[in-house]
Amino acid sequence: MKAEKDPKTGKWLIQYRYKDWTGKLRKSTKRGFATKREAEDWLHGFLAQQQRRLDMKFSDFVRIYLEDMGHRLREHTMINKRYLIEDKLLPYFGERQMDQISVADIRTWQNTLIRKGFSQTYLKTINNQLSAIFNYAVRYYEMPFNPCRKAGSMGKAKADEMLIWTKEEFQEFADSIMDKRVPWLAFQILFWTGIRIGELLALTWADVDLEAKVLHITKSYQRLKGKDIVTAPKTPKSVRTVNLPAFLVEDILDYRDSVYDPCPDTPLLPVTKTMLEKEMIRGCKLSGVKKIRIHDCRHSHASMLIELGFSAKEIAERLGHENIETTLNTYSHLYPDRQERLADRLEEYYRESEADDDA
């Protein structure tokens, strides 16, 4: 099974024998390699895969992993998974053999990423992806153990503090950017509906029913590797109808009157995430309110609903959470002064009962 030049194309080919899944011996040829080394490396990886060996390159194993997962996961999940692997895992582990990646290698990789200053939750996401690949190797390729488990994790599943705006803080921010109508309306929708930024960017005029006072959330927008991608929302429950307060309907109506003949399939708002991030910085500087992330507008909305006394089920349905547990785990916090006011209310209740006893 030696590589040789293809006389027709001038590129390299390699002939080989292997046993298929039935155990039958077969012969095949793989063509189109630029170099002899490339052809031999491909064959080594192919045979390792057929024999469930782990002396193949990490990059070759990742192809096997992604091919399998591609049949089981949603398209937008696979897009994010591929991006993360290509950007954070392959540059470091791509050329190493799976069975030679040590616990020490993983610790070194972790420290490299930690020094880059990524958020704790993002570090956790990256580490989980590497661990998932090794778990796959343990389960299906008889790898003796997952080295990520011995290396320990990095990052945190939840941020130390979830920054939110109160209604008053948001109003100060919104007032400071009223000179730019489109981003102003974008933040109004984000804060008062709690939809995700990707859901906002994917909205078209056809998704807005102003008579019924609702938004129809059916898709999400992402920009990956310079390409605009519109996919199904994050989870099946994310496909939902979000009711709008009357004042927000009036804001959208006023905006629609300023747009020349809006078509059903055109974006509701011609904005980008980058534009909104710049407006966030400008508005915070002008208003003096604390800087939060765009996604924190969603957290602010959820916290406001908790403040107003809505149930976890109602909030989960509005936000498009897959289950109530997500809502409870994510938004168990309250506004900064909630505990103090709770204590004041107990004091008031106690004094009322004491007064009744004295009467």
Q: How do residues 263-315 score in pLDDT, each as one tens digit?
A: 999 999 999 999 999 999 999 999 999 999 999 999 999 989 988 888 888 99
pLDDT at 40 (0 to 100): 82
pLDDT at 357: 61
Mean predicted confidence (pLDDT) in 320-334: 75
Q: State the Cα torsion 74-76-81-82 to the nearest 10°.
A: 110
Q: Are residues 255 and 325 in the same domain?
A: yes
Q: Which helix (H) or strand (E) holds 325?
A: helix 324-330
* Same domain, yes or no: 134 and 234: no
pLDDT in the model for residue 239: 94
Q: Is the pLDDT of residue 46 over 70?
A: yes
Tokens 């429950």 — which residue?
237
So what's the pLDDT on residue 355?
A: 64
Nearest CA to 55 out of 143, 182, 150 is that of: 143
Please report which confidence band the pLDDT of residue 36 belongs to, taking 50, 70 and 90 as the band edges.
confident
Residue 359 lies in a domain: no
**Domain residues for 38?**
3-151
Residue 81's Cβ-side half-sphere holds a number of Cα atoms within 13 Å equal to 21
Q: Does position 333 have pLDDT exceeding 60, yes or no?
A: no
CA distance 279 to 183: 7
Q: Which of 80-84, 97-101, 229-233, 254-258 has the lowest mean pLDDT?
A: 229-233
What is the reported pLDDT for 1?
Answer: 67
| Distance from C-alpha of 174 to C-alpha of 226, rounded to nearest angstrom | 30
pLDDT at 335: 41
**Inside any domain, residue 288:** yes
Q: Per the domain annotation, does 297 fall within a domain? A: yes
The CATH number of residue 10's host domain is: 1.10.150.130
How confident is residue 338, by pLDDT bands cut at 50, 70 and 90? low
- The Cα 6–Cα 32 span in angstroms is 8
CATH number at residue 235: 1.10.443.10
Does residue 171 sit in the same domain as residue 214? yes
Contact 129, 81 (CB under 8 A): yes
Count of structural domains, the chain: 2
**Average of per-residue pLDDT across 26-54:** 80
Inform me whether the pLDDT recorded for 332 exceeds 90: no
Query: What are 206-253's pLDDT values in tens digits?
Result: 999 999 999 999 999 987 767 788 888 877 889 999 999 999 999 999
Considering only residues 279 and 117, tell me which one the structure prediction assigns the higher pLDDT.
279
Mean pLDDT value of segment 13-25: 74
Same domain? For 64 and 96 the reply is: yes
The whole-model pTM stands at: 0.65
